[in-house]
Structure 1
Amino acid sequence: MTVRVSSAAGVLYIVPTPIGNLADMVPRAIEVLQTVDLIAAEDTRHSGKLMQHFQISTPMISYHDFSSEQKAQDLLDRLKAGKNIALISDAGTPLISDPGYRLVSAAREEGINVIPIPGACAAIAALSASGLPSDRFAFEGFPPAKNSARRAFYQALVQDSRTLIFYESPHRIQASLADLLEVFGPERRMVMAREISKTFETFLSGTISSVLAIVEQDPDQQKGEIVLLVAGYQPPEQQEELSPEACRVMSLLLDEKLPVKQAASLAAAITGEKKNRLYDWALTR
């Protein structure tokens, strides 16, 4: 069903804000924020500093994931009355692991014109500089906070051939990397991008095991805004050449509910096969 855009209604602008360096703010975004009737901000106190820096005096109200339906309806009513509104989050592009989906979806259904302003996005910035394949990728947002749910979340993606992109919080980064190691194996390539566009911007590139080792040894790598990028799955070469005995041993160990990493280590010690090949075999079993 096609919804016609109402010519009498205002415009909802989706406006990105800097993820670090204030110079990342695009001129068009400044112009929109200066000229709209209202700015809907994730946190008005946080955004107030940005507005002050760019001398933007447009009125602001808060709008976030926990805002009431009534607040969303109030914004829709203003838009239908011809007011122009800019939606911003604390940093980056709204809706990309930030608030706004409900409002944009409702605005579209009401025939209100929604216009995006291109700009800063941590996921895309990290991907562009990661050196991992960028022709096909999947943004998966924040993994679950609890270990068991996070491992299951990663397990569902282990054979995805696209480059995988996650956001992660600093206080969970060690546990999250440990779960990546457990599920994806030690040799899967990855990049950890931290504090993009800020003073202490860092890119750690290598295998999951090597990146985890650095993070464990350097407390500074456990701070700030973090993007994790994991290389897509590639079928192991010559997988069919695993000996029948190695396959039998691995099957027995996995049937006993041993973790894949532990089963591969034991089977390697028993059969002489390489641990990584046994691990890869288990993932496609």
Structure 2
Amino acid sequence: MMNQTLPSSSGTLFVVATPIGNLADLTHRAVTVLRDCDWVACEDTRHSQRVFQEYGIQARTIALHQHNEHQESARLIGFLQSGQHVALVSDAGTPLISDPGFTLLQLAHEAGITVSPIPGPSALTAFLSVVALNTQPFTFHGFIPAKSAQRQKFYESLKPLTATHVFYESSHRVLNSVTQIVTVFGADAVVGMGRELTKKFEHIFRGTAGQLLDLMNSDSNQLKGEFVLAIQAEKPLVTAQLDEQIQSLAVALTPHLPPRKAAKLVAEHYQVNKKKVYEFILSLSAS
């Protein structure tokens, strides 16, 4: 079936997103592609077998990880140039988002091979979709430095916070990492945490850095699992005027929320002065 839908004489390289925890998150399209490809390049073939067994995928696999990426990428390009189709998967989520595969993709583009994304799970987008932090703009850093001194310098380099910064962190370092966030940005910095996303003990946190640190210090369970962390951008200079779009949101929220709560939400959404929004809302009730 796959060969009939692909006009190119060479094979296609499919970049396939796989579940980050919940096996039910694998898409129907991903299952079809993984079943039909001649080869599946896996970050860890043993790890991928769990997904394959769940869906009855009997694929020829080849390991592609950071230690053999250059050698095996050349081999896979040979398969593709001979007309075979290859799927690339990582241990979890969308490949190349802090996972191996860059060399293979680069060689494929240079060789004129068709590269096709099969989108699906990603810890990054799953987290940002629910944490309610400002993402316009945001910067994703992947895994940040492991050593404490280097991580401290990394955090210092983010100042001033003109964008929301998102990164992955391990259970072994997360407490120290959040402690450093409090030190560098202050306890009132707005942060988010996604722990064990899509898994049984999934936990989403949004609040201040100080509150997150208190939570982790008081509950050791909050130090277990895989983490996505974010530090929200600081508010820019105050906007002199509230434009029509800002006013419209304030008008829409006013019947449903107390003035201060409505003002806070509007101010955070549009990054404008909360006092000005509050005064505008009060003027509505007075008119």
Query: If the TM-score is normalised by the length of the shorter chain, which range does it land in?
Result: 0.7 to 0.9
2:50 is matched by which residue type in structure 1? Answer: K
Q: CA deviation at 1:229?
A: 1.3
1:141-152 aligned within 5 A: 141-152=142-153
- Assess if the C-alpha contact under 8 Å between 1:126 and 1:193 holds in 2: yes
* Cα gap change, 1:138 to 1:68, in 2 (>3 Å): closer
Distance 1:160 1:190 in 2: 12
Q: CA deviation at 1:160?
A: 3.3
Distance 2:183 2:34 in 1: 46
* Cα gap change, 1:68 to 1:27, in 2 (>3 Å): closer
SS in 1 for 2:173: helix
1:78 is matched by which residue type in structure 2? Answer: F
2:52 is matched by which residue type in structure 1? Answer: M
Q: CA deviation at 1:235?
A: 4.7
Distance 1:68 1:163 in 2: 32
1:4-43 aligned within 5 A: 7-43=8-44
1:215-230 aligned within 5 A: 215-230=216-231
1:230-249 aligned within 5 A: 230-235=231-236
1:11-160 aligned within 5 A: 11-160=12-161
Distance 1:236 1:223 in 2: 38
Distance 1:69 1:191 in 2: 36
SS in 2 for 1:203: strand
Indicate the residue corresponding to 1:247 in structure 2. Answer: none
SS in 2 for 1:78: helix
Q: CA deviation at 1:7?
A: 3.0
Q: CA deviation at 1:52?
A: 0.6
Q: CA deviation at 1:156?
A: 1.1
SS in 1 for 2:143: coil
Residues 131-171 of structure 1, C-alpha deviations (whole Å, 9 max, x = no match): 11123211111110111110111111121322211100001
Indicate the residue corresponding to 1:200 in structure 2. Answer: 201
Indicate the residue corresponding to 1:272 in structure 2. Answer: none
- Assess if the C-alpha contact under 8 Å between 2:69 and 2:100 holds in 1: no
Q: CA deviation at 1:70?
A: 2.0
Please, what is the CA RMSD of the aligned residues?
1.4
Which of structure 1's runs of 4+ aligned residues deviate more than 6 A?
none
Q: CA deviation at 1:193?
A: 0.7
Distance 2:180 2:72 in 1: 39
Identity %: 43
Q: CA deviation at 1:213?
A: 1.0
Runs of 5+ in structure 2 lacking a partner?
A: 1-6, 239-287
State the TM-score, normalized to the length of structure 2: 0.78
Indicate the residue corresponding to 1:177 in structure 2. Answer: 178
Runs of 5+ in structure 1 lacking a partner?
A: 1-5, 238-285
Q: CA deviation at 1:39?
A: 0.3
